[in-house]
Chains A and B, each alone.
Chain A
Amino acid sequence: MNPLRQYLDFYDANAELIAAHAAPVLNDRRPEARAALREATLPAKGAPGYDIQGIDTLFEPDYGINASRLSIAADTLEPFRCEVPNLSTWLGFQVNDSYIDGSMRQLPDGVMVGSLGDAAREFPDVVARHYARIAPLDDAQVALSTLLAQDGICIYVPRGVKLAKPVQIVNILSGNVPIMASRRLLIVIDDDAEAQLLLCDHTQSSAPAMLINEVVEVAVGARAALHIYDLEQSTPATRRVASLWARQAEGSSLHHGTVTLTNGITRNNLHVAACGNDTETRLLGLAIAKERQVVDNHTTLVHQGLRGRSNQLFKYFVGDEGRGSFIGRVKVAPGAAKVEAYQSNKNIVATATARVHSKPELEIYCDDVKCSHGSSTGQLDADAIFYMRQRGIPEAMARMMLVQAFLSDVTDAIDIPALATRLRQLTEQRLGNVKALCGDCKADCHNPINPKQ
């Protein structure tokens, strides 16, 4: 059975209730979304781009939808295990799909971080121009989100404003029964503005399955810069289907990092349209898939302008019965001359039951380009392990140090130093025995600005 059916039936029965608890600007897009879903299906395993994991089955369970927007309790202190030491941020929370303010009130004038509903009142043009317009409704996941979303978060940085510290949104998926949350995020960075955004994903739930259906829309203005780091530390019961749709104007810069440390089944789609000339794009990915984790990242980067530069680096460590998948497509449109695009996917398969699927793709319609991609899948270097053991380092620690070294290309490329440091610690913890490595050592050797000499 088409798993969309239950959602369409739910919508048709509750359209008024849904609309009553949402801003008009969100409601305006529902009829088109409903029409788009008439013939649509959610991609199944085997559909193009869904080689190892379809998303149709993730939507199959009977999830609850909080259409009347009852307040759901969540512990906003507990997720502070994701706190980043030495990093001051403007903080906000999102419980399922409801925004809860932290420290955003101190933001500079004209900058908005708040609920989509509030944003729609404050900056109606901005929201109406972009909401459910950057993300295409002919994508079934986007259409479904647009059909059911009742709120979300809007981040708006007006022309020329450069935020002094990162905005941090802590997402908490909460509920004691299976719940689907339609999470929307709209990020508009006007011309010459700059912002850094840190997203943290957590689940507080004892339910057997929780589903996030997330759509992030991003507009980066001319010469603007946006860095987004998205860190998932959820639970085995969490299913996350997240798509990001970004448009980059002339001379803009977009850096995006996806880090998956703990999760259940995750599908991240990143669609970046480098529309203007002279854009710069960097997509980073780091995944540790152990136990039965599934991490499936898919990037589509389309260069439409001249002289675009892009670089993608995705590294996976898969162990136990984990599964990692990377499908990355770089497309250079006709006429997009002088583009330089690079893409690299490297994987370590640590156990006989882990699996990796890698599909880096180049689709080039312009001759004056320099594009390359590489993919390698293998194990830790046996010679290096022996060399380390000969120096007295036990095998398990040698392996850990090598995995950490393997992942360090990604963490080193993160341009918020305090976050990079924190991620090194988190990956170490996730990989196992952090204590064994550091002992009582006081040297701050994980900080990239050190080692002290």
Chain B
Amino acid sequence: MTTDNNKPTPPDSAGIINDVTSSDYKWGFTTDIATDIIPVGLNEEVVRTISRLKGEPEWLLQFRLDAFKRWEKMTMPRWAHLEIPPIDFQAISYYAAPRQRKAPGSLDDIDPEMKRTFDRLGIPLEEQKALSGMAVDAVMDSVSVRTTYREKLAELGIIFCSISEAVKEYPDLVQRYLGKVVSSRDNFFAALNSAVFSDGSFVYIPKGVRCPMELSTYFRINASGTGQFERTLIVADDDSYVSYLEGCTAPMRDENQLHAAIVEIIAETRAEVKYSTVQNWYPGDKEGRGGVYNFVTKRGLCRGDHSKISWTQVETGSAITWKYPGCVLAGDGSIGEFYSVAVTNNHQQADTGTKMIHLGNNTRSTIVSKGISAGRSQNSYRGQVHVAAKARGCRNYTQCDSLLLGDSCGAHTFPYIDVHNDTAVVEHEATTSKINEDQIFYCNQRGIPTEDAIGLIVNGYAKEVMQKLPMEFAVEAQKLLQITLEGSIG
């Protein structure tokens, strides 16, 4: 019998961590494929060009032009606790499409280079190789490359395709719902997106259907000097259910890339939508050069009574993140949830949280936010809970915790709580503390190196949120947490 006293077997999650501790941002490669990029700059003509390139109907062009006119009059918001260098919106190209011979009807039509890209990202475009039980819409730069399992889903009446295709094939549905949850008036980036959005996913779950597999969109920014402005629209009709996942990566580039997306969700009576994000855009290098600016507007409308929308997000990437996935709880008895882990390291800045707007009676919301800051990063939770005067019997519970690793980072909590009636119960609790040194020492004493110990502790700290993720994502998200925090303890 051999003895190995000085090196006990690390627990499972430490094993995962060991796999990845050697790597930096491993998704930082670029793909060498032909890309159609329109010239940089933004004006009415560019908006018209995008619409024309995509062969859009007149109403959509008008939608874009209205948004563009609004955007021109707006200025970039300054209220968040972020330092955003001035962005030259005229130095960005607003449309980049990987060149394909024709629309990707079959797999053979897809550029093999692009297929390899998604393989390297762990997103095989071949259905037989795909993760079981998950349908994927792969989006590179501005356009959807391929959507798997479309036919199988169609048998149930589920529509899952790129939004460009949806505009052509289901114009009534798109027109009925597009911009209804996030209006182009909403904010600067929402207006920008509404003017220039290129592609994204469209989901429609018909009445009474439980979507049998996870639907997923994988976003990839590839071309340089471009922005990505995708738009996702999910409609869950009465008594339906869908779980939707979103993942994203980008190459390492010295310059900053802009990502300004919109996600709209509508849940009708008794419908339930679960939306999970693992956001891993390139965060920039250790000195804070490069990285994606992630300015995203995500909102769900619980329109029907007893509907439910649940957001789960693991935010590890991006140089600057600015997003507040929210729920408008309009239907009586509707439920909104927000579970978030946001990790920042080096020079990353994150200002993220949620908005829960209680309009219907007996609506409930739960917010759990776990922030982890390391390096010289700044990590803020910003969340609003609003209970309208006519919304009787509403409940909210918010828990937000911040963990600090290192003495040069910041962790901030900015809740806004507005209660306009005498039947609501709204509770908010927050704590901020450093990582527990006793726990680290305990791990060290058991032979676990400090860096692994931090990974373990942080994963434990974030567990409440992580376990809300679908299995396939949970493992990847755990790895991501560890990688993001690498080198955070000197």
Physical contact A–B (CB less than 8 Å): yes
Are B415 and A375 within 8 A (Cβ)?
Answer: yes
| Chain A residue at minimum C-beta to C-beta distance from B381 | A362
Are A372 and B405 within 8 A (Cβ)?
Answer: no
Q: What residues of A have a CB within 8 angstroms of the CB of B424 in the complex?
A: 349, 377-378
User: How long is the Cα–Cα vector from A361 to B432 in the complex, in angstroms?
Assistant: 11
Cβ contact of B430, chosen from A51, A349, A352, A373, cutoff 8 A: A373
Cβ-based interface call for A402 (8 A): no
Chain A min CB distance to B423 (Å):
7
User: How long is the Cα–Cα vector from A128 to B274 in the complex, in angstroms?
Assistant: 63
Instruction: Give residues of chain A (354-381) contacting chain B, Cβ–Cβ below 8 Å.
Output: 354-379
Cβ-based interface call for A88 (8 A): no
Instruction: Give residues of chain A (399-440) contacting chain B, Cβ–Cβ below 8 Å.
Output: none
Chain B min CB distance to A297 (Å):
14
User: How long is the Cα–Cα vector from A48 to B80 in the complex, in angstroms?
Assistant: 11
Q: What residues of A have a CB within 8 angstroms of the CB of B430 in the complex?
A: 360, 362, 372-374
Q: What residues of B have a CB within 8 angstroms of the CB of A373 in the complex?
A: 413, 428-430
Given A349-B419, A352-B389, A361-B414, are A378 and B425 neighbors across the interface (CB < 8 Å)?
Answer: yes
Cβ-based interface call for A96 (8 A): no
| Chain B residue at minimum C-beta to C-beta distance from A365 | B410
Instruction: Give residues of chain B (38-93) contacting chain A, Cβ–Cβ below 8 Å.
Output: 79, 81
Cβ-based interface call for B427 (8 A): yes
Are A369 and B418 within 8 A (Cβ)?
Answer: no
| Chain A residue at minimum C-beta to C-beta distance from B398 | A375
Given A334-B408, A361-B413, are A377 and B419 neighbors across the interface (CB < 8 Å)?
Answer: yes
Cβ-based interface call for A260 (8 A): no
Chain B min CB distance to A396 (Å):
16
Cβ contact of A357, chosen from B410, B418, B435, cutoff 8 A: B418
Interface range for B: 35 or more
Interface range for A: 35 or more
User: How long is the Cα–Cα vector from A202 to B408 in the complex, in angstroms?
Assistant: 48
Instruction: Give residues of chain B (341-386) contacting chain A, Cβ–Cβ below 8 Å.
Output: none
**How does the 8 Å CB contact mask read for A210-232 relative to B, with 1 for contact and 0 for none?**
00000000000000000000000
Q: What residues of B have a CB within 8 angstroms of the CB of A370 in the complex?
A: 431-433
| Chain B residue at minimum C-beta to C-beta distance from A335 | B407
Q: What residues of A have a CB within 8 angstroms of the CB of B402 in the complex?
A: 362, 364
Are B412 and A364 within 8 A (Cβ)?
Answer: yes
Q: What residues of B have a CB within 8 angstroms of the CB of A53 in the complex?
A: none
Instruction: Give residues of chain A (369-398) contacting chain B, Cβ–Cβ below 8 Å.
Output: 369-379
| Chain A residue at minimum C-beta to C-beta distance from B418 | A357
Cβ-based interface call for B447 (8 A): no
The A interface is mostly helix, strand or loop, or mixed, namely strand
User: How long is the Cα–Cα vector from A352 to B424 in the complex, in angstroms?
Assistant: 10
Q: What residues of B have a CB within 8 angstroms of the CB of A205 in the complex?
A: none
Q: What residues of A have a CB within 8 angstroms of the CB of B81 in the complex?
A: 363
Q: What residues of A have a CB within 8 angstroms of the CB of B410 in the complex?
A: 363-365
Cβ-based interface call for A14 (8 A): no
Cβ contact of A355, chosen from B79, B413, B418, B429, cutoff 8 A: B418
Are A379 and B432 within 8 A (Cβ)?
Answer: no
Are A350 and B422 within 8 A (Cβ)?
Answer: yes
The B interface is mostly helix, strand or loop, or mixed, namely strand
Cβ contact of B404, chosen from A363, A364, A379, cutoff 8 A: A364
Q: What residues of A have a CB within 8 angstroms of the CB of B426 in the complex?
A: 375-378
Cβ-based interface call for B409 (8 A): yes
| Chain B residue at minimum C-beta to C-beta distance from A354 | B422
Cβ-based interface call for B33 (8 A): no
| Chain A residue at minimum C-beta to C-beta distance from B397 | A376
Cβ-based interface call for A206 (8 A): no
Are B427 and A369 within 8 A (Cβ)?
Answer: no
Given A367-B404, A371-B433, are A360 and B428 neighbors across the interface (CB < 8 Å)?
Answer: yes
Are B422 and A366 within 8 A (Cβ)?
Answer: no
Instruction: Give residues of chain B (393-452) contacting chain A, Cβ–Cβ below 8 Å.
Output: 402, 404-435
Cβ-based interface call for A351 (8 A): yes
Q: What residues of A have a CB within 8 angstroms of the CB of B432 in the complex?
A: 362, 364, 369-372
Are B417 and A359 within 8 A (Cβ)?
Answer: yes
User: How long is the Cα–Cα vector from A334 to B79 in the complex, in angstroms?
Assistant: 22
Most B Cβ at <10 Å: residue of A354, A371, A377: A377
| Chain A residue at minimum C-beta to C-beta distance from B416 | A359
Chain A min CB distance to B75 (Å):
16
Q: What residues of A have a CB within 8 angstroms of the CB of B408 in the complex?
A: 334
| Chain B residue at minimum C-beta to C-beta distance from A357 | B418
Chain A min CB distance to B356 (Å):
14
| Chain A residue at minimum C-beta to C-beta distance from B411 | A364
Q: What residues of A have a CB within 8 angstroms of the CB of B79 in the complex?
A: 48
Q: What residues of B have a CB within 8 angstroms of the CB of A368 in the complex?
A: 407, 434
Q: Which 9 A-B pairs have the closest CB atoms?
A: A367-B404, A378-B425, A372-B431, A358-B417, A367-B434, A375-B428, A362-B413, A371-B432, A376-B427
| Further 6 A-B residue pairs, CB within 8 A, beyond A362-B432, A366-B407 | A350-B422, A354-B422, A365-B410, A369-B432, A370-B432, A375-B427
A-B contact pairs, 30 of them (CB 8 A): A51-B416, A349-B421, A349-B424, A351-B422, A352-B389, A353-B389, A357-B416, A357-B418, A358-B428, A359-B414, A359-B417, A360-B413, A360-B428, A360-B430, A362-B402, A362-B430, A362-B432, A363-B413, A364-B402, A364-B410, A365-B410, A369-B404, A371-B432, A371-B433, A374-B430, A376-B425, A377-B419, A377-B426, A378-B427, A379-B423
- Which residues does B use to contact A, with CB under 8 Å? 79, 81, 389, 402, 404-435
